[in-house]
Structure 1
Amino acid sequence: MKKYNWGMIGTGWIAHEMADAINDVNGQVYAVADVNEDMLKKFAAEKHIAKTFTDANAMIADPNVDVIYIATPHTYHFGYIKAALNAGKHVFCEKAITVNARQFDEVQQLAADKHLILTEGFTLYHMPIYNQVRDLIASGKLGEIKLVQVNFGSLKDYDPKNRFFNKQLAGGALLDIGGYATAFARTFLASQPNTTLTTVKFFETGVDEQSGIILKNDEEQLAVMALSMRAKQPKRGVISGTKGYVEINNYPRATSAEVTYTEDAHASQSETLTAGDADQALRYEVRDMQRYIETGHDDGQLATSHDVSHILNSVRNAWGMKYPFDNQI
């Protein structure tokens, strides 16, 4: 596989994991940018990165950079994505890729116009187990898919000043963890949902603390989601059909799927599908991103992210929740 010059923006915990993945798959990280010079120098030394920038735009302008990786708070993604695409760089951005669908549509079109790869950091897009699950569904062994259920609950410490609860930084469960649940649901629905029913409990800062969401599409398939930032839940997804169902635990980095066949109520049978390694999740992301660049095709990943972005918008619209900086949802 060809080596690429990755430039990283941000030095938080997920950037640490991604730097290790890039070093393992690609051999090196070319450059890193962060406004905090002390954190920047420490990160660069630890990850063996030769070039550092306190100005991310200066790194984006470096003609040697091939790919920009973005690991900043959500509110900075849109600006950096546009700058990188306009500079001719491919972009891998952590979720949520943008804070609203209008921004998403703009950068999706820009990437297409520039013939560049734009990818969102959902590990579940890249875990090998999902190829087996899709093949199982395509085989017809589960019958007609009727229902997808998916949970994500994260217990964040009570701290109104933390970015997770900061409305100025697009905090809340929906954009932090809801994208994973929505991406799982959309992956196994036949078409984009056009009906949204939802209720929400707001945190004291005005962001969504927890919610219940029901989606329905033209095929009348349902997706039922439960999200929380203040109550731990198993990361569990279930895909149910007329002949059986699949349960996937820890679905963002899943390595197995439990299949139960129910066509004969008196003789249910089960099997376990296995594939991949959870510890390799980010390495799968890096390999796929570099393959996308080489082939010029992203396996439909961005199209799924498009639908996820628009679903998240419909949920926020139903709540009437707007971020202070976002006048147009």
Structure 2
Amino acid sequence: MAEQSVRWGILATGGIAAAFTADLVDLPDAELVAVASRSGESARAFAERFGIPRAYGDWEALANDEDIDVVYVATPHSAHRAAAGLCLEAGRNVLCEKPFTLNLREAEELVELARGRGRFLMEAMWMYCNPLIRRLKALVDDGAIGEVRTVQADFGLAGPFPPAHRLRNPALGGGALLDLGVYPVSFAQLLLGEPSDVTARATLSPEGVDLQTGALLSFDGGALASVHCSIVGGTSVTASVTGSRGRIDIPSGFFHPDRFVLHRDGRDPEEFAADPADGPRSSLRHEAREVMRALRAGETESPLVPLEGTLAVMRTLDALRERIGVRYPGEPGDLGDLGDLGKGASYAPVS
């Protein structure tokens, strides 16, 4: 695979699948082979829209298509375990949308399955692959603002969303935390690793999902992260990282920024802007490029989005849900031993 095109299968036909596929079309070394949906009609319409040769009305046919190098799983996250697991069992490599799964137990099952099969697996945390976020992390790692003391990040949508919407449907893993909160949590853990403790408060819907959640993550060494997510109020979607000798502010769209500002003690502020050559800020191509790079290199996971980091984020999300009392259908009453929170704190995504 060192020089040939990477052949993609698309599993699901919703909005995020369309956005990702549109970016794949623009990559000369990506080849679209097949798409699958539980609806044959939906699969055929999606295939026609993007010029994809094969359309399947079931997931199994896609998973068993040996012409596919990697499958992009874009179902609602309540189906990630089933869809990604099916593909891994069939020998396919997988890029799975975030949040990776509903809970840590499901995430661990997928990681174990991928490692047992020797297959590539990566969470589609496009923020980690964004060139400007990578630049920000490199500056922090190099000590540009000293020792990190606090991280703040928020992500809220105005809504209102009706009870039947996927964001409020417990059967689809609804709620602000998993759908939106995964971004500020992942941002904090990119810079600080896994927290040693968490506290949280939430406003719950009549269906039992969180309409908004505020959380404080505590880290060994004394650093704190304050994160907030909401599906009942549009927030500024900003982030700030404060250190012992300065601060970095992302003024908008922190998980796919077009710029950030570095404030260093005793110096004028410095603005870092996205390179226009990297494409629009909404582009998902960076994660696709990383998947293809890793596959050509024979890697089974990405150093930018390591599986231990994904598991660490899922452990934090489980702990937060334990604190706010959100359970999904079929989950046990206890999400696990929260005494293990922090167990994977040593993971380190590459700059």
Report the secondary structure of 2:71's partner residue. strand
Matched, 1:38 2:37: no
How big is each residue's C-alpha offset from its partner over 1:131-176, in whole Å with a ceiling of 9 and x where there is no partner?
2212212332211110000000012333101111001111000111
| Cα shift at 1:300 | 4.6
- CA shift digits 1:35-80 (9 cap, x unpaired): 2232222111110011010011111011211111111111111011
- Separation in 2, partners of 1:306, 1:273: 31
What residue is the counterpart of 2:331 in the other structure? 326
Q: What letter is aligned with 2:271?
A: T
Residue 249 of structure 2 aligns with which residue? 247
CA contact (8 A) 1:128 1:255 kept: no
Deviation of the 1:275 alpha carbon: 2.8
Q: Tell me, what secondary structure is at the counterpart of 1:140? A: coil
SS across alignment from 2:4: coil
Quote the sequence identity (%): 28
- Distance between the aligned counterparts of 2:229 and 2:282, measured in 1? 26
Paired with 1:280 and 1:95, the residues of 2 have a C-alpha distance of 16
Q: 2:320 aligns with which of 315, 319, 324?
A: 315
Corresponding residue of 1:121? 124
2:227 maps to a residue whose letter is: M
On the 8 A contact 1:73/1:169 being kept in 2, the answer is yes
Distance 1:312 1:75 in 2: 14
Q: 2:136 is aligned with what amino acid?
A: V
Query: Which residue of structure 2 lines up, in the alignment, with residue 299 of structure 1?
Result: 303
Q: CA deviation at 1:113?
A: 2.1
Match in the other structure for 1:108: 111
- Following superposition, the deviation at residue 19 of structure 1 comes to 1.0
- The answer to whether the aligner puts 1:29 opposite 2:29 as a matched pair is no
C-alpha displacement at 1:290, in angstroms?
A: 0.6
Is 1:275 aligned to 2:274, yes or no? yes
Q: Structure 1 residues 100, 159: CA separation in 2 closer, same or farther (over 3 Å shift)?
A: same
- 2:345 — aligned with what? none
Match of 2:205 in 1: 203
Output the TM-score relative to the length of structure 2: 0.88
RMSD: 1.5
Q: 2:201 aligns to what SS in structure 1? A: strand
The CA distance in 2 between the partners of 1:270 and 1:160, in whole Å, is 45
Task: Describe the SS at the equivalent of 2:207.
Answer: coil
Does structure 2 retain, via aligned residues, the 8 Å contact 1:170–1:323? Answer: yes
The one-letter code sitting in structure 2 at the alignment partner of 1:111 is: A
Indicate the residue corresponding to 1:151 in structure 2.
Answer: 154
Q: Unaligned regions of 5+ residues in structure 1, if any? A: none
Q: What whole-Å deviation, never above 9, does each CA across 1:256-311 have from its counterpart, x for those lacking one?
A: 2111113x4xxx52101123443462111111111121220411512221111110
The residue identity in structure 1 corresponding to 2:247 is Y
* Conserved 8 A contact 1:253-1:278: no
Please give the TM-score of this superposition, normalised by the length of structure 1: 0.94
How far off its partner does 1:27 sit?
A: 4.3
For residues 172-229 of structure 1, give each alpha carbon's deviation from its aligned partner in whole angstroms, at most 9, with x where no partner exists.
001111111111110111x310111110000121100001100011122101001100
1:16 aligns to what? Answer: 18
